[in-house]
Amino acid sequence: MDDLSDEWWLEKPKSKKKRLKKTDTIDTVEYSPLHSKERQLCELSNALQTVEKDSDDLLILEDNFVQVDGDTEDFNSCLKQAVPNWEKWLARLSKPASPIVMVIALSAMRCIQLNREAAGFRNGCTTVKLFAKHIKVAEQRTFLESHVVPFAIGTPNRINKLLKLGVLNLKKCRLIVIDWYWKDKKMRAIADIPEVKDDLNTLLRDILLPQMQSSKLKLFLY
């Protein structure tokens, strides 16, 4: 078996709600910094509306996103900027099954790669791997029920399954990172593979977006 081993930003004026409209295209922000809130909002809106074309219920705010300065591709640097209170929250975390940071990637191999790249940020804390490759749901349930897991990383399908089973929860989660811009050898990103995109959209629609409306949970497209 693989080793599975409150504060936020200062109060700001509320942003206007943005509906997912067919008129919102990435072209309108093509020159925006890669990790700006505006660019992230438009990227996600375009991806979601291809599935939720007739939905008026999905509302996303720019303030639902975390902004990172520049277009850095260094995962450690992005995480340190996105979660400035990491050490404080890490010291306070005492309950199992609820990570502070959860990373979503398109495959098990990409999850493993990102977990290694985040080593400097994690600083030795426990990681739980939430994907199907060589790891059964029952094994993940046992691990989650008995371990404090500050950092989680997995694929949309398995994360969605564990959340719906109640094995995993987002009570202490402060940041969801979606590995958005990385492409595999076939030049496919997470939103380009139909089955993975469908799983991601389901996860966003059913769990993550509603959670963001009622908690301090933030989103970051890496």
pLDDT tens series, the chain, 222 aa: 445 543 323 334 444 444 444 344 444 445 467 788 989 998 888 887 644 444 445 578 888 999 998 767 899 999 999 999 999 999 999 999 999 999 999 999 999 999 999 999 999 999 999 999 889 999 999 999 999 999 999 999 999 999 999 999 999 999 999 999 999 999 999 999 999 999 999 999 899 988 988 888 999 999
Whole-model pTM: value is 0.83
* Residue 94 is assigned to a structural domain of this protein: yes
Q: Is 181 helix (H, G, I), strand (E, B) or coil?
A: coil
CATH of the domain at 170: 3.40.50.300
Given 3-state DSSP classes, what are the helix, strand and coil percentages for the chain, each rounded to the nearest 5?
Answer: 40, 10, 50
Domain for residue 128, yes or no?
Answer: yes
Do the domain assignments include residue 80? no
Residue 71 lies in a domain: no
Q: Which residues form the domain of 200?
A: 87-221
Indicate the DSSP class of residue 58.
Answer: -
Q: Is residue 159 part of a domain?
A: yes
Q: Answer yes or no: are the C-beta atoms of 67 and 219 closer than 8 Å.
A: no
What SS3 class is residue 213? Answer: helix
Residue 71 CB neighbour total at 10 angstroms: 11
* 25 occurs within a structural domain: no
| Sequence-separated (6 or more) residues with CB below 8 Å from residue 131 | 107, 108, 111, 154, 155, 158
- Cα angle value 92/62/93 (rounded, 5°): 10
Is residue 116 a part of any domain in this protein? Answer: yes
Please report whether residue 186 resides in a domain: yes
The pLDDT, as a whole number, for residue 20 is 41
Q: How many independent structural domains does the chain possess?
A: 1
Question: What's the chain's length in residues?
Answer: 222
